[in-house]
Structure 1
Amino acid sequence: ILDTPYLLNENWKYYLSGMVFNNPDINLTFEQVYSDCKENKGIYTTLKLENSYNISEHLNFQEHAGNIGNDFKNLNVSIDNIVLLDEVGRRNLMDFSSSGVDTIDYNVYLAEMGKAPTKVNLLSFANDLEAKADHLPQGSLKQSLKSNAQTIRTIHRGQVIPLEQSMVTTYNLWGFPGTRTKPISLAGFHLD
């Protein structure tokens, strides 16, 4: 009954649109609103809000972006002077590709990286050597053993420690999760 034209207001064909939009000629009825709500339609559609604010006009990207598609079609870019890889770089890349790097078994490589670079702990060996030299009488043998112990410590500091640090760095860069069962520790450096 509420949707009967001119019933609630003798000048308005559709009472609801007259109230909402101040335009009684828009076909907006109570029955249609109820039905749309029951069908879970959006409020914009249900209340025919395009009569108040037309989203389509504001979402017209052509109007705002112009004719960007044609601009891209007409775009002419010259890349004649760009060198992505010079001859030296190309040769280096070819040398690298034929180096056999693709045949390396990285799991075996990483397992070897986890091993200490020497079979003997050089610091313990140097300390033991010096302790034994201390029990010798003064002389050239005692001096020679002490000198050798110091040389071994120098080798350890200058070669073994940097090698172990390098191994830790390499393992961290190339280490794959799940390839080892326990953390690796080398002279105080940890491979987690």
Structure 2
Amino acid sequence: MAATLLLLSVPFFSLSAIAVALAFLVRPRPVRIPVKGRHVFITGGSSGIGLALARRAAAEGARVSILARSATRLNEAREAIRLATGVDVAVFSADVRDAEAVARAVEAAGPIDLLVCNQGVFTPQELEHQDLQEVRFMVDVNLMGTFHLIKAALPAMKQRARATKLPASISIMSSQAGQGDYVFDK
């Protein structure tokens, strides 16, 4: 009862200030994962966010592997990272829709400490205008590709984490505002 009376006596603007302060205090904060000396495997690593992540990880001392479909774009990305950081990265050309190709790339890359599932495709148009084949392609790349990657990498990552006492990490990057079909498959 006393708490209720106290709460009622607090002016509205004070409640607003408290709400803002609480929102600030409990909001998610970015987690910094140390990468120096660890193997970071990034899909979609030949352009955009994946390339930026690969460049940053290389600059911070990680051993970096990138996977994408285009061997030409992968080699261009490798050269860009080398010029920016002085570090050579491993490149693997594979389509994430192909579970066997993904498994071969993961095996060839060697022990992975951090797996970043960054591959992604989408077609920016209204859902009612989406072609079923386009949606299937997005689901195969975005959802099934992530499944293939995690399935291929996770057993060795878990074993390595137990052996080294270092945590393994799998990150799934997604940008979703207003992307209809892309949202539900991510």
Query: Which TM bucket (shorter chain)?
Result: under 0.3
Please say which structure displays the higher CA radius of gyration. Answer: 1
Choose between structure 1 and 2 for higher RCO, CA contacts under 8 A separated by at least 6 residues.
2
Name whichever structure is richer in strand by fraction: 2
TM-score norm. by structure 1 comes to 0.25
Q: TM-score, normalised by structure 2?
A: 0.26
